[in-house]
Amino acid sequence: MRAGIVAGGAFALLLGYVTLAAVTGNFHTVSDGEVYRSAQPSAEALARYHRRFGIRTVINLRGKNESESWYRDEIETSERLGIHHIDFRMSAKRGITKKEA
């Protein structure tokens, strides 16, 4: 019985986190007025963040992906809004080289 309650509570917390991340676009303040982080924002979300938080630069950690619609939308939206866009591919499986640093 107790294990079921604990599992149910853990599931509720996980569901709450996933719901919050979906609703907010996983957008969070790192340093108020200076640095923010998010998941892959849609063009609409990027425009909203630009208006609300004054976003001036996007650093894309997935690197150039010209064949992907999300990337083309991000570039187009950044250009339209005057947002500087930087591509910097990172990997969870390897560190960056001295040249990349």
The verdict on residue 25 lying in a domain is: no
Structural domains counted in the chain: 1
Rounded Cα gap, residues 75 and 64, in angstroms:
10
The verdict on residue 97 lying in a domain is: no
Burial group, residue 35, by CB count within 10 angstroms (0-12, 13-18, 19+): exposed
Range of the domain at 83: 40-92
The verdict on residue 88 lying in a domain is: yes
Low-confidence ranges of the chain (pLDDT < 50): 17-18, 20-22
The verdict on residue 47 lying in a domain is: yes
- pLDDT score recorded for residue 93: 83
* Residues ≥6 apart with Cβ < 8 Å to 96: 90
- pLDDT score recorded for residue 82: 97
Question: For strand 57-60 and strand 35-37, is the pairing parallel, antiparallel, or unpaired?
Answer: unpaired
* Residues ≥6 apart with Cβ < 8 Å to 65: 71
